[in-house]
A = this chain, B = another copy of it.
Amino acid sequence: MSELAALSARLRAFAAARKWEPFHTPKNLAMALAGEAGEVLAELQWLSDAEIAEGLADGELKQRLADEAADVFLYLMQLADASGIDLLAAAHAKMDRNEVRFPV
């Protein structure tokens, strides 16, 4: 099983065991996704690029940012799953179009 399919399966089992599926509509998951993207912003909003580079090297900011990025990823995977979207295929299809749209 691919690494994305395995993560999706883990998320599906987690939600099923807690009977959370009724809450996991595309609409609710899209809201959760955007809420977590907002938490990513909150980690970086008052810092300069130099302070961010330093904080990432120190490790503490990197850990917090990794946690928030993980939350975005987990909701994105669940949104894709609830909507019947193959996220990896969609990403490569978008890159195919971007390569045409933005020639070197």
Contact = CB atoms under 8 A, between A and B. Distances in A.
Oligomer: number of copies: 4
Contact of A41 (B23, B31, B62): B31
Interface string A1-15: 011100100110010
The listed residue with most B CB atoms (<10 A of its CB), out of A2, A23, A35, A70, is A70
Interface residues of A, number: 65
A70 B91 contact: yes
Contacts of A7: 88, 91-92
26 contacts: A3-B3, A4-B4, A7-B88, A10-B92, A14-B98, A17-B104, A23-B46, A26-B56, A27-B49, A30-B40, A31-B34, A31-B41, A34-B34, A34-B37, A35-B45, A36-B38, A37-B72, A38-B39, A38-B41, A62-B85, A66-B87, A70-B87, A72-B72, A72-B76, A74-B95, A76-B76
